[in-house]
A and B are shown apart, each in its own frame.
Chain A
């Protein structure tokens, strides 16, 4: 400890102490008058801080105990926080500003007010992307939810090979998108020889000229994308539902059996209501993930050059093309704000819901 001691002028220390003691007295005086518990708590914190300082001045140490603790804590946080602040926090703040600027990455930046937002209204690709994103969401969320809950209920039964079936249902979720999208593009090939079309033709007797063109047709492309994302992602949400199912008290089912309830009735009156917090949570993350959709659409409908037509374009793709193909950085950021507002709205609903389902 001796090394940390400083040789200081005793007069300076005395002055400092007198000043601090004065502060302390004043705070204590306020404390006696204060009645509001929140104010009292604040005052207590201040008093402790002053007391620490007095101790520090008396012993002549460089730092108070709290300061040393702070430093240790900061040393824990620093490696992550510096990276986080530079590469995430900074760009997030910059994104909000960029939405009101005009910039192509090279020429000087210009402030343009809300004109980026006004431009959106006149851009048919923006309108199409907004519409498609919403349509994709409305179709994907309930379908995925239904598939996930169905899978979870079935795979929660005591059956042979349960773990095998669970693994199988989950695997599409971890499989790399490029690879599975490539298979899907072949299985759902628009030609008559595509395996799915062949199945429709030979077994379901769909006439050759009415066979769907899947991702190649403006009418079917969204359907194909929705089908694919339900298939790829339902395993993930199934796992969340399985956890929810395990939280249901088994006695509820026993009681229902005694009352003569059937399988469907048990689902309707026990499983479904008991799973409501899970369903709420799944709906939220599912919706947010749907707003962020990009790569699925890019790979199923992007063709060989990765350009999406207005029948399949989504918001994130619109941001991507405006920023990295046309270098309209300000406009792209304005579109990103629309995406952010959509996500924010859902997040706010989540906060309200969490309060409701907290207990």
Chain B
């Protein structure tokens, strides 16, 4: 008996060592980022690594705002992210209600159009999409990015999946009580679908905030650029300003970190739900 419990203790100990090692691997780049963001460029690569800088250069965090139009980049990104997320939430939950709870002509054909395009990666049609946007005069505008991101088939698909889990009887009862379809959507379905809406919010928020290729193709004027391409541009032009690059990186991570930590539960549940159902 004793050896068995001893074995178990050893196994537990090994487990924790492995875990700490993994956590170390995951966190080291972030720790290094934070620590370097407070250093002078010449001190970044000094060995042994100084994890806590002796002489923290808080000025890096001040300088970066004047070195590049960081405030403008943040503002652009925030604007795009908020508009895209709101549009995505509203239009996909609205459309998903019809697909999940209403019967109408051409329902299957229309839904098939959505399903079929989910299987086509954006990279396959980004070229004709760009040419189309350009012919609309939307090249180098924020509107192009909004149109590109806000009407994804994924959102409709996900919300429909969720609505199908809500019993039809609920809608039937409301119809008998004389509610219109819009009222059923607004007063019954929306409040019930908070978890799905939260998941969609986080996915859209993180994707739009971190999107790179879209803004890279469309946004040419510096004052219109998003945080990601602005940051990348700065890195390309000043690749040896390590301290500033890291300070900007830390700043670009913060919003996502905050959103992620506060809504983490929905994020994990969302992946699990879409993942298991396939």
Contact = CB atoms under 8 A, between A and B. Distances in A.
B156 interface: yes
A151 B212 contact: no
A169 B22 contact: yes
Tell me which of B95, B228, B246, B248 has the highest count of chain A C-beta atoms within 10 A of its own C-beta. Answer: B95
B107 A73 contact: yes
Given A165-B23, A324-B217, A176 B209 contact: yes
Nearest to A189: B45
Given A73-B107, A159-B15, A306-B236, A179 B249 contact: yes
Nearest to B135: A105
Contacts of A298: 212
Contacts of A171: 26, 30, 257, 260
Interface string B108-150: 0010011001011101111111111010000000000001101
Contacts of B227: 176
Interface stretch (A24-32, A74-82, A215-223): A74-82
B40 to A, nearest CB: 14
B276 A278 contact: yes
A236 B271 CA distance: 8
B44 interface: yes
Interface stretch (B54-62, B86-94, B166-174, B190-198): B86-94
B121 A91 contact: no
A87 interface: yes
Contact of B132 (A72, A90, A178): A90
B181 A72 contact: yes
B128 A94 contact: yes
Interface string A70-108: 101110110111011111111110110010000001000
B242 interface: yes
Given A98-B128, A151-B22, A76 B97 contact: yes
A295 interface: yes
A195 B45 CA distance: 7
B200 interface: no
Tell me which of A90, A179, A305 has the highest count of chain B C-beta atoms within 10 A of its own C-beta. Answer: A179
A292 B123 contact: yes
Nearest to A164: B23
11 contacts: A80-B151, A91-B125, A94-B125, A171-B30, A176-B249, A178-B252, A193-B47, A288-B121, A299-B232, A340-B124, A347-B119
Nearest to A353: B278
Q: How large is the interface on B (under 10, 10 to 19, 20 to 34, 35 or more residues)?
A: 35 or more
A316 interface: yes
Interface stretch (A12-20, A112-120, A138-146, A329-337): A329-337
A200 interface: no
B110 A77 contact: yes
**Secondary structure class of chain A's binding surface, majority of residues:** helix
B27 A87 contact: no
B167 to A, nearest CB: 19
A89 B26 contact: no
B212 A178 contact: yes
Given A77-B110, A167-B261, A198-B47, A87 B121 contact: no
A333 B235 CA distance: 30
Interface of B: 11-12, 15-16, 18-19, 22-23, 25-30, 32-33, 36, 44-45, 47, 49, 90-92, 94-95, 97-99, 102-105, 107, 110, 113-114, 117, 119-121, 123-132, 134, 147-148, 150-153, 155-156, 180-181, 185, 206, 209-210, 212-213, 217, 227-228, 231-232, 235-237, 239, 242, 245-246, 248-250, 252-253, 256-257, 260-261, 264, 267-268, 271-273, 275-276, 278
A253 interface: no
A294 to B, nearest CB: 6
B125 A95 contact: yes
Contacts of A72: 102, 180-181
B121 A281 contact: no
B267 to A, nearest CB: 8
Given A159-B16, A168-B27, A193-B47, A79 B124 contact: no
Contact of A170 (B36, B132, B268, B276): B268
Interface stretch (A3-11, A54-62, A124-132, A242-250): A242-250
Contact of B231 (A179, A231, A244): A179
A254 interface: no
A281 B235 CA distance: 37
A181 to B, nearest CB: 9
Nearest to B156: A80
B156 A74 contact: no
Interface in A166-199: 166-172, 174-180, 182-184, 186-187, 189, 191, 193-195, 198
Contacts of B260: 171, 174
A69 B104 contact: yes
A304 interface: yes
A189 B273 CA distance: 39
Nearest to B238: A304
Given A77-B98, A177-B212, A333-B127, A239 B275 contact: yes
Contact of A305 (B19, B236, B275): B236
Given A157-B15, A168-B26, A172-B26, A80 B131 contact: no
